A and B are shown apart, each in its own frame.
Chain A
Amino acid sequence: MSDWKKYVRNHLPPLGLSGPREAEIIEELAQQLEGAYSEALARGSTEAEAEARAAAVIPDWTALAAEIRRAERAGFTGRPEPARESAARRLTTEFWQDVRYGARLLARTPGFAAVILLTLALGIGANSMMFTVVNAVLLRPLPYPHPEQLVLLRDFNHDKGFDSFSVAPGNFLDWRAQSRSFTGMAAFGGASFNYTGGPFPERIAAMRVTEGFFEALGVQPVAGRSFQSSDFQQGQDHVVLLSYGLWQKIFQGDPQALGRNIQLSDEPYTVVGVMPPGLRFISREQDVWAPWAFPPAWSQVRGAHFLSVLARRKPGVTLEQARAEMAGIGQRLAAQYPDVNRGWGVRTDLLYENVVGDARPALLLLLAAVATLLLIACGNVANMLLARTLERRREIAVRASLGAGKWRLVRQMLAESLLLSLTGGALGLLLAVGGTRTLISMAPQVLPRADAIHLDPWVLGFTFAVAVLTGIVFGLAPMVTVARQDLQQTLKEGGRTSSASQRLRGALVSAEVALALVLLVGAGLLIGSFARLEAVAPGFRTERALAFDVSLPRTRYADAPRKAAFYESLIERLLTLPGVQSAAAVTTLPLSDNDESYTFEVENKPNEPGKEPSAMYYDVTPGYFQTMGIPLLAGRDFSRTDALDTPRVCIINDVLAREYFPGLDPVGRHLFLGAGQGRIFREIVGVVGSVKHYWLGEKPQPQAYEPLAQVPDSGATIVVRSTLDPGSLTAAVRGRVQAVDAQLPIAHVITFDQLVAESVSQPRFRTLLLGLFAAFAVALAVAGLYGVMSYTVTQRTREIGIRMVLGAQRKSVYQLVVGQGMILVGMGVVVGLGSALGLTRLLKRFLFGVEATDLLTFIAVSALLVVVAACACFFPARRASRVDPLESLRYE
């Protein structure tokens, strides 16, 4: 042993003296031990013997500390007292003494300390992790000046079930002209360009914006200029602002790039400026921004909704005032243009709501779940500390009888709690950093602003605050016990447990079980929902199929025949690929976030004004249904003969057929789809099964298809069905596209399995996390139960022994112990079920196919919890049943 000072410091309880005096005493005692040690060595003892010899010098450290304290407190002194320390300094000194003492105690029981620290790290870490996410996603303001002034304006039409809808350009122009609440208002829309200047053609993300967009957003270019009025004149609109990233990528950040031309979708655009690094808008990343010059005719377009509108409120105009003004304008426009605007209104929402609104409920749910988890962890730690406090009652009583006041003892307990919780918090922070990273990589598309998620001072502060609070909460029970302890009684009792503290421990366990059950019910409901959602057939076959996007530039594909020829030729070539069974093109792929929807009219059945039915709309090539695996229920598929010069045809789904042609065969009848090329009634040539378009849980809705050759679109998704692993096809597919058009990039390559998986990524994310947290919660609660039952058995060994001497069977001992545990569990389950019944209502929005009060789930999770809890009681019960009656009577 080299450091006897450390040895003394580790063994001597705090003396409650000034720091220097205490150090002095420690040094002196250490010298004594060292003397004994060296002496033993000199006499020829081994090192171990010498150490034992030195250790034997002071057999009872607690008694020694008590004596020294009494000696130091002795009334008369020949010397003047050293100047009194200030109260604050004394408190600090004492606090550190307490912390050191607590650390020493814990170091002596490393297993105990490790379990507590792990529990706390888990509880606090989960909270830090969720807070890191919530902080970045929900709490941090949007990265624009005065983000609270920014609003998003949308159309809505409750009659048609559209709570929030894109804006028609005619309406936007009227809003901008008539409103007074805003300093600026501009429309924007997503777009994409083919960029062919790189090593291979690629698709870049663009945003088209109308005049005043960046002024409203409050963002200026870092180089060059922003858009000016002349850029929005048709014919002069071939200018772009580059994102900082694209500027670095194409021009390596060269300032000479300004004024240069780049080819975007085969057209030259002049670079006028570079935007600041990291600029993104509405969660999407943009590579370029281009002016959106409206054709003059758009001022009268009110039936086609495809714009998004951003506005900045004037300072002093409240959201309510802006809302009221826009609602008024919406009503005026509805009255002014009843044929198109009836039923339509304007909704005015904070931009922030649009960015994070969808993510908020799930994140708050998960935050509540981790808070519950932490409460359970606190319960466990409180229980462990309480048990130890009971074991330490003698020590505490001795210290109290030596003059340590209750307040002083409580402070000692508090210091120990804080030591634990802060260490646990630090470990938890490490867990949180790793956990957050896993979380983001698990579900990047689930979390808006995911790129902004990182550890920051707020997270550190939160973790610290939570740790301190946690320490106080779980330290409370032991502190109260100490404060209420009848010390004289304790000394006499010799450390037997009082029934009050035993009841407290039982209550803590019941509370833990109740909280765990609430989480478990929530997780059970989400898991049930998710299983049902996953079981939903999307209406098409998902195995071994691939999709990718192409976008035809209008320079080379100006007219319909050229576009049609491209798709035909591409599909032909794809079919020559080994393993490819069929291929087709579609304008909006189901589950892909893109949609097109139009009102329709059945022949001879004019719609009531304002009550036009609408259908999801798809342009497809022949073979689409076969490729997708969508069943053809009646009639025929499109064929190559359905072209521009042949009669217009369409195919509808079973829902549209059933609802609008009840009892009739729709094939051969006619339908007008408002896709915007005049009032052409198309002949229905077939009926197909319906597909899920937005998400798996949606109700079946009317869907209609037209041949792509009759309405050629510039952009489409190509779907390929293969006998091979679709993921291996990407390179071959790209080669075939390039063989048709060497300048054409492909984008968004995805297998159907991925497509479906991504469509349920939100529910999977929250189900997985809540399930995980609930599992932790149950594990902690059950561990707590096990701890209490083990302790009880130890405490009651004598009683059990007596019972057995008096003839009790092993079975009845089992019953005694398990029964006692199950009473605690039962109370927890009752309270938990009651709370869950009230709380699961909050889950309603996340549930699919399951009621918030689903009886089966409630029963199943309760049963699960009870079984696990019974197992936890089983082991202590077995130990109790094996008590040797005679041995146990000697136990004391």
Chain B
Amino acid sequence: MIPAELKKGTAEVLILSLLEDRPRHGYELAKLIERRSEGVLEFHVASLYPMLYRLERRGWIEGRWVERAGQRRRRFYRLTPAGRKALPEQRRGWREFIRAIRRVAQVDHV
């Protein structure tokens, strides 16, 4: 079982990563997380949106309503410069964490 704190942290990195190359809207993000984690991270939409709002408040991402011809308007989120700057830091932290977990797990196995 993954502690809630970790889950939240994971998801934040995921979101920031997914927004790295282009802006996406909420539904798209939900689908992508579900697909890329191959269902392992059972990620509830119920936590996606609060997370988006928190990141937005933190100033890392920015949501904007975009209208496309023939479609309803969608709220697209993109990385802000602050978010772009924060992403590597976040990734590094996570990599270290995962490495640590792996080490501990191997010790356990041995």
Contacts and interface: CB of A to CB of B under 8 A. Distances in A.
Contacts of B59: 76-79
B16 to A, nearest CB: 14
B84 interface: no
B91 interface: no
B53 interface: yes
A57 B57 contact: no
Interface in B35-55: 44-51, 53-54
Nearest to A33: B45
Contact of A32 (B45, B50, B54, B60): B45
B27 interface: yes
B60 A78 contact: yes
A68 B49 contact: yes
Interface stretch (A22-30, A132-140, A773-781): A22-30
B104 to A, nearest CB: 30
Interface residues of A, number: 24
Contacts of A77: 57-59
Contact of B26 (A32, A58, A59, A79): A32
Contact of B53 (A57, A59, A63, A68): A68
A31 B27 contact: yes
A28 B49 contact: yes
Interface residues on B, range: 20 to 34
Contacts of B54: 70-71, 74
B101 interface: no
A608 interface: no
B70 to A, nearest CB: 16
Contacts of B47: 67
Contacts of A67: 46-47, 50
A70 B58 CA distance: 12
Most buried by A among B51, B58, B65: B58
B72 interface: yes
B90 interface: no
Nearest to A39: B31
A849 interface: no
B82 interface: yes
Contacts of A63: 46
A76 B56 CA distance: 10
B53 A32 contact: no
Nearest to B55: A71
A190 B31 CA distance: 91
A68 B50 contact: yes
A27 B26 CA distance: 11
B46 A72 contact: no
A57 B26 CA distance: 13
A63 B46 CA distance: 8
A3 interface: no
Nearest to B48: A32
Interface in A1-45: 24-25, 27-29, 31-32, 35
A64 interface: yes
Interface in B80-108: 80, 82
Contacts of A58: 45-46
A892 interface: no
A659 interface: no
Contacts of A645: none
Interface string A542-558: 00000000000000000
Nearest to B51: A71
Contacts of A57: 44-46
Nearest to B29: A32
Contacts of B60: 78
A60 interface: yes
Contacts of A28: 26, 49, 75
B75 A78 contact: no
Interface string B9-47: 000000000000000011100110000000000001111
The 3 closest A-B pairs by CB, nearest first: A78-B59, A67-B50, A71-B54
17 contacts: A28-B26, A28-B49, A31-B25, A32-B27, A32-B45, A32-B48, A32-B49, A35-B27, A57-B46, A64-B49, A67-B50, A68-B49, A71-B53, A72-B57, A76-B58, A77-B58, A79-B59
Given A24-B65, A58-B46, A67-B50, 19 more contacts: A24-B75, A28-B26, A31-B26, A31-B74, A32-B26, A32-B30, A32-B48, A32-B49, A58-B45, A59-B44, A64-B50, A68-B49, A68-B53, A70-B50, A70-B54, A71-B50, A76-B57, A77-B58, A78-B57
